[in-house]
Amino acid sequence: MDTTSQNSKRNPETELKSAAQLYWIYAFFMALPITIIIAISNTKPTASGREFECIFAAFIMLLVLNGVLLFMKIRLGLYLGWLLMPLILVGFPIGTAIGAFIISKLLKADVKALLTK
């Protein structure tokens, strides 16, 4: 068996879990700047700064939740992932690369068939 046919028959469960892990990696990359922003803004907090921090933190929590849902093979993770995808793709260059890879994994029919509920 040659390697090209072996690579094309990857386990769909592995591909789903790799997409879930990429959501967690992207959440980590988003958590780094918010940590710096919170550390700097503690000297003179403003209302708009706190709102931005809360929205950013909610986005990170949604990324982590989506990774958990996909890892647990719950279909809601697919829908939440599609809602978050435009925000992920805007984050050039890391978000675009991660988002494109996740899209390529989640569009496969055998990966969609794994998702339940």
Q: What is the pLDDT of residues 59-72, one digit of tens each?
A: 999 999 999 999 99
Residue 106 has pLDDT above 80, yes or no: yes
Asked whether residue 20 is domain-assigned, the answer is: yes
Asked whether residue 8 is domain-assigned, the answer is: no
Number of domains the chain contains: 1
CA 12 to chain centre: 18
Asked whether residue 31 is domain-assigned, the answer is: yes
- Strand segments (E) across 8-70: none
Give the structural domain span for 95: 13-114
pLDDT digits (tens, 9 = 90+) for 35-83: 887 777 777 767 777 788 889 899 999 999 999 999 999 999 999 999 9
pLDDT at 99: 94
Asked whether residue 96 is domain-assigned, the answer is: yes
* Separate counts of helices (H) and strands (E) for the chain: 6, 0
pLDDT-above-70 percentage for the chain:
89
pTM, 2 dp:
0.84
The Cα-based distances of 6 to 13, 19, 32, 113 in angstroms read: 16, 20, 38, 21
Asked whether residue 6 is domain-assigned, the answer is: no
Are residues 12 and 110 in contact, defined by beta-carbon separation less than 8 angstroms? yes
